[in-house]
Amino acid sequence: MFNTFKKCCGIVAMFALYLYSAPAAFAQCDGVELSITLDYDSWPEESSWSLTSDGVEIASGDAYTGGELAADGSSETVVACVANDACYVFTMSDSYGDGGTDYTIADADGNVLGSALGWYGGSTSSEFCLGAVTVAGCTDETACNYNPEATEDDGSCATLLMNVNVSNNYWSSETGFNMYNADTGEVVGSLSAGTYTNSSTINEEVCVQDNACYYIEMTDSFGDGIGASGTWAVTWNGVTIASGGGSGWSVQTSDTWCFGPGCQDSNASNFNPTATSDSGECEYLGCTDATACNYDEFATADDGSCAYESLIIDITPDNYASEISWDLVDSTGAVIATGASEGTELCLNESCYTFTLYDSLAE
């Protein structure tokens, strides 16, 4: 019956496993006794199966028992003693690719752990766990990748949810993307071409961790981009952090952006729209010389704009003040200031200026 017989390893290391075709005499099972019932079709020679745990094959078999092929349309039961507190994958395969052999996996109490009935294809599988298996994952309910089945936090919790949008793209079926962690090269989000139908607007969410850098590669399977009017954008917290579009490309790669500490004040010269916490290092450009007439007490870095000449423009209009206007032009012809009949006070650099007063009716 069995082509291979292996002792368990990995999760079920050193645990004795035995298999037999029931009924048969056997030693007491110290783990969990599984009954695997196989219902063959008219071509049992095409069927084979395997049982794995944590990626390690524990046992496998086919329709030959002691070198003899099982009869067409017959059934038999294989009994396996396996370790508790572990997860398993049972895979049934068909060499012709048209399915056929159905199966049912049950424990000693008759609880069905996995089954397949009337399946078609090259293989089908069932996954099941026994006992109190530790399931690693994100246990933080506020995280965007929270796993309600996780029993042990593995440090994978991600709190930042980004949106990838592709608009005005007729050939949406050709469009895909891969988003990468720039530090590790890991793909943290992807979309395969063919996921969306043509003319669809693509909207996908990507959940990532804080304190890391990322970039995105947009792809077009036909190699002609997403059209002259097509656009794509990656947004977070209402802010566009990467964008592109147009025609004539098979891959379009964004610049890298980083989440983590930074300046969160939009008035600062080094404002970072992807800062997730304030680093306390915001910079404010301006005149830092207290003797200048445009001194900025909030400036933390001098931008060379300090001016020391104060000019007062005082206008006394006649009875037709609405006709009055003026401008002040520097030596390069640039307009420095304008006004109506009201005066003002200006802070200027040392230079030559031209002041012109206008009357709209030329009176």
Query: What is 4-130's CATH number?
Result: 2.60.60
The pLDDT assigned to 84 comes to 87
Question: Residue 57 in contact with residue 6, Cβ under 8 Å?
Answer: yes
CA gap 38, 94 in Å, rounded? 13
**Neighbour-count burial of 67, counting CB atoms closer than 10 A to its CB (0-12 exposed, 13-18 middle, 19+ buried):** exposed
My answer on whether omega of the bond before 23 falls inside 30° of 0, hence cis, is yes
The pLDDT assigned to 27 comes to 54
String of DSSP letters for 161-210: EEEEEEES-TTGGGEEEEEEETTT--EEEEE-TTSS-TTPPEEEEEEE-S
Distances (CA, A) of 36 to 20, 48, 231, 269: 10, 13, 54, 68
CA gap 295, 293 in Å, rounded? 6
The partner residues of 335 in beta bridges, in order of sequence, read 329
Cβ within 8 Å of residue 63, ≥6 positions away: 38, 40, 44, 45, 47, 48, 69, 70, 101
pLDDT band at 66 (very low <50, low <70, confident <90, very high): low
C-alpha dihedral over 171, 173, 175, 176, to 10 degrees? 170
DSSP SS3 for 10: helix
Domain positions in the chain are 4-130, 160-258, 301-359
Per-residue model confidence as pLDDT tens digits over 287-325: 999 999 999 999 999 999 999 999 999 998 888 888 999
CA gap 326, 342 in Å, rounded? 10
Over range 144-165, report the average pLDDT: 92
Task: Read off the tokens for 263.
Answer: 């300046």
Q: Do 4-130 and 160-258 share a fold? A: no
Per-residue model confidence as pLDDT tens digits over 24-57: 434 578 889 999 999 999 999 999 999 999 889 9
CATH topology of domain 160-258: Immunoglobulin-like (2.60.40)
Residue that the structure tokens 């530090």 belong to: 183
Per-residue model confidence as pLDDT tens digits over 212-248: 999 999 999 999 999 999 999 999 999 999 999 999 9
Q: What percent of the chain has pLDDT over 90?
A: 73
Query: Whole-prediction pTM value?
Result: 0.55
